[in-house]
Structure 1
Amino acid sequence: MNDLKASIAAAASGMKSQASRLRHVSENIANADTPGYRRKIVSFNETVEAGRATGLVETGRLTLDQTKLPSVYDPSHPMANENGYYDGSNVDLVVEIADSREAQRSYEANLKMFDQAKQMSKSLLDLLRR
């Protein structure tokens, strides 16, 4: 029964981490046209208890993409300098859409694992009742 509990916990931690990743990807997409916005990058870490890996995952520290912000020419923009340029955003929509698809599919895989472990637990309890 502990293995089933560990499977459910691993799937739940994966779903929680992917949901966090998807939230940050959504923020990146929403701010793609915001001047000076830097893309947020989420990392994942394996949780460790008493020096041993637990098999669970959690979101790590949130970092900002440090690639150079593109200069956008628009002399009518309120943030434009004397030459008519302002810093744009370093969000690439193609990359963000790919990241969102990957996060969605990982979430769905963890959900299937969670459902499978739950079904196995239910079947085991049904057998023990007989």
Structure 2
Amino acid sequence: MSDFQTSLSIAASGMEAQAARLRHVSENIANVDTPGYHRKTIAFEAVVRDGEKSGEVRAGKVRLDQSELSRVLDPGNPLADANGYYEGSNVDLVTEIADAREAQRSYEANLRMFEQTRKMAASLLDLLRR
């Protein structure tokens, strides 16, 4: 594989992985008020080809955050126990917004790398045509 193709593959894999991360962050934000909801987390894995790391990444398995669920006081809620509490979610909006910003910036960095590599390949083809 040429260096241009390798660079494009690495940047594209980074964009795909960050898009998957952003999907899970969005689900977490959407379910912040869902009783019993556990925050989803995702880790990235290095892609190995022919026994060597290729530089690419992919989204790994989705894991549920096992930290304690918040206790919400709402005696009128049908899920409430005898003391008026029910289990909320363990989603922290500040953490999710920070994760979303980081995923967005990483996606944009990979996109810039992809575009730069594409422009370099196009310039090289123009030079070779002359």
Q: TM-score, normalised by structure 2?
A: 0.98
Q: Distance in 2 between matches of 1:20 and 1:80?
A: 34
1:68-106, Cα deviation, whole Å (9 max, x unpaired): 111111110011112211101100000000000000000
Number of the residue aligned with 1:110: 110
Q: Could you say what the CA RMSD is over the residues aligned between the two structures, in angstroms?
A: 0.9
CA distance in 2, matches of 1:32, 1:70: 11
- Amino acid in the other structure paired with 1:20: A
> Whole-Å Cα distance in 2 between the matches of residues 66 and 50 of structure 1?
36
Which 10-residue stretch deviates more, 8-17 or 74-83?
A: 74-83
Give the Cα separation in 2 of the matches to 1:69 and 1:87: 6
Match of 1:124 in 2: 124
* Identity score, percent: 62
1:89 matched to 2:125? The reply is no
2:70 equivalent in structure 1: 70
Q: What does residue 52 of structure 2 align with?
A: 52
Shift of 1:28: 0.3
Q: Which AA in structure 1 matches 2:50?
A: A
Greater than 3 Å deviation, 4+ residue runs: none
Aligned-partner residue type, residue 62 of structure 2: L
1:10 and 2:39 equivalent?
no
**2:30, 2:70 → 1: CA distance?**
18
Aligned residue-pair number: 130
Q: Which ranges in structure 1 are unaligned for 5 or more consecutive residues?
A: none
The TM-score, its normalising length taken from structure 1, stands at 0.98
Residue identity in the other structure for 1:73? L
Equivalents in 1 of 2:41, 2:65: separation in Å? 7
2: CA distance, partners of 1:51 / 1:76? 59
